[in-house]
Structure 1
């Protein structure tokens, strides 16, 4: 979550008037995240999230995302479906952007999860994959392995402004993984971004799975590998906690036990997740507008994770 597009109180009040959600009391921009503009909105009837979809989210994909949330909510998953206005419309236009008013879910995101909490998160991912098994729509992964080389080229040598040697190390990693990518595993609908800040918890209970705007059809186990890279390290990517990783896999295995081929491929999938997020963070680092209310994510934190999974891939950049 972030704020790139600023919304006036007058425009927000006019939007809320289309709904049966009460009158505007307050709205506050949410700085965390990097993808869309988000506001915490309080009205006389309750609390909501307003999301304005920025350039990385194609407005044409919104019906897919919203249908997925409705599907998962109907299966009992703790996800936040968009609220429909009096005309039955979920997708609006606000300040020139597609926008949705979304149900608020209680809970907090954890910066230092325990193994018990990680086990619950892994279990939630397994339940998500099981619930999505009969979801009828598909969507290609717009940040999948086929996109990494083009994104590397768009970043170009400016990567070395972040750290000397970053371009060449990432270029080598992309080239090597393009040969080793384990494409023959089971495919399914995946979240593709289930970081700790996209999981809401109260104590050890999962109360919300949020931010589905990278959801797509890809390797099912890749989703777990993304979680592994996100949950098992401190924010800087310097400290690895094996107990967290074991708990994630154990929780997920309640629904989808890993077979021998999946265990063999898991490290390469984690390397791929590190490449994907190092590249996207680097692009955002180099291109985020100076006046955006947004917390930029350090791409080197994912290069440090990459060094954990395969230290042979880092020979130039100093971490």
Structure 2
């Protein structure tokens, strides 16, 4: 179970007294998720999510994350929204952690996405990019191209022990990415982590986007690169160009891509694969014994990185330039 901080009944009831969400009827830990401790709350006024923010979410960044959710919801984007306490605050403290209560979003995430789901994701991502244009707060992407080299160096020896020759391969790749990375693409608020488990569906209808705790300011097309990696590869590692075409075409119907974004897309997808490869390697190498959450397989993203090296234009993703 992905609950890192336990909460006693007494602590929880005292915490809930500072909110106007009704009387607690039941609660349970939520097994999914790897970043925070999450609980499902049921009160006589409805269902809510209680989140305790663990080490990867800095408390000083919560105004950005929680404020962004409120902003997007006000612009018509389906997403969870933080519930203010009786003093009008979006978060407070519980069991020694910053904590917030978030509205419950109906739906389930799709374990085996189909092209029709990718179409929905592309449309929703473009809508989110447009809706965030006038959000006043900003946050640097801590895991952008400038952050990959330090992350790599922090676990270089462990990477080489994991697979002989991999450290040299990634060293060379990072040098190329840093040299060629585009710095002047259209930018704004991006999700940066829009994997299938962060998108809810009711039937084939996308019902909402969740988990904005990697959201930041960066290139919109980089967010598309993340989604290509997250949605368009099959379990056997093969690339599904039909999924990619649907995702990209539906995105461009809402927010057309500039020529510079189209030209950069293969490199951006390659960089996104590097980002998730490095964080997976880091988590595997530094995995504490007995931890609840099993590290994700880095080799999936090594294969995707190598695939993107062979793509020279958007046509490789099913989109004509």
TM over 0.5: yes
Q: SS of the residue aligned with 2:254?
A: coil
For the residues of structure 2 that align with 1:124 and 1:177, how far apart are their CA atoms? Answer: 28
For the residues of structure 1 that align with 2:136 and 2:222, how far apart are their CA atoms? Answer: 20
**Structure 1 residue 235, shift from structure 2 partner:** 4.8
Q: SS of the residue aligned with 1:254?
A: helix
Larger deviation, residues 97-106 vs 109-118 = 109-118
Q: Which residue of 2 aligns with 1:27?
A: 27
Q: Which residue of 1 aligns with 2:303?
A: 304
Q: Which residue of 1 aligns with 2:54?
A: 54
User: 1:125-144 counterparts in 2 under 5 A?
Assistant: 125-144=125-144
**Structure 1 residue 5, shift from structure 2 partner:** 1.8
For the residues of structure 1 that align with 2:279 and 2:77, how far apart are their CA atoms? Answer: 28
Q: Which residue of 1 aligns with 2:247?
A: 248
Q: Which residue of 2 aligns with 1:317?
A: none
For the residues of structure 1 that align with 2:235 and 2:103, how far apart are their CA atoms? Answer: 28
User: For residues 245-273 of structure 1, what are the alpha-carbon distances to aligned partners after superposition, in whole Å with 9 as ceiling and x for unaligned?
Assistant: 11110111012222332221100000100
User: 1:265-304 counterparts in 2 under 5 A?
Assistant: 265-304=264-303
For the residues of structure 2 that align with 1:188 and 1:142, how far apart are their CA atoms? Answer: 15
Structure 1: where are the runs of 5+ without partners? 313-319
For the residues of structure 2 that align with 1:92 and 1:212, how far apart are their CA atoms? Answer: 18
Q: Which residue of 2 aligns with 1:171?
A: 171
**TM-score, length of structure 1 as denominator length:** 0.92
Q: Higher relative CO (CA 8 A, sep ≥ 6), structure 1 or 2?
A: 1
Q: Which residue of 1 aligns with 2:120?
A: 120
Structure 2: where are the runs of 5+ without partners? 312-321
For the residues of structure 1 that align with 2:185 and 2:8, how far apart are their CA atoms? Answer: 48
For the residues of structure 2 that align with 1:52 and 1:234, how far apart are their CA atoms? Answer: 33
The answer to whether structure 1 residue 89 and structure 2 residue 86 are counterparts is no
Q: SS of the residue aligned with 1:222?
A: helix
Q: Which residue of 2 aligns with 1:239?
A: 238
For the residues of structure 2 that align with 1:301 and 1:66, how far apart are their CA atoms? Answer: 31
Q: Which residue of 1 aligns with 2:184?
A: 184
Q: Which residue of 2 aligns with 1:204?
A: 204
For the residues of structure 2 that align with 1:29 and 1:295, how far apart are their CA atoms? Answer: 17
Aligned length: 311
Q: SS of the residue aligned with 1:153?
A: helix
User: For residues 13-61 of structure 1, what are the alpha-carbon distances to aligned partners after superposition, in whole Å with 9 as ceiling and x for unaligned?
Assistant: 2212221223333332223232212122223332111111111111101
Larger deviation, residues 35-44 vs 128-137 = 35-44
How has the CA–CA distance of structure 1 residues 235 and 39 changed in structure 2, closer, same or farther, with 3 Å as cutoff? farther
User: 1:219-230 counterparts in 2 under 5 A?
Assistant: 219-230=219-230
Work out whether residues 4 and 292 of structure 1, in 8 Å CA contact, stay in contact via their aligned partners in 2. Answer: no
Q: Which residue of 2 aligns with 1:156?
A: 156
**Structure 1 residue 311, shift from structure 2 partner:** 5.7
For the residues of structure 1 that align with 2:169 and 2:13, how far apart are their CA atoms? Answer: 49
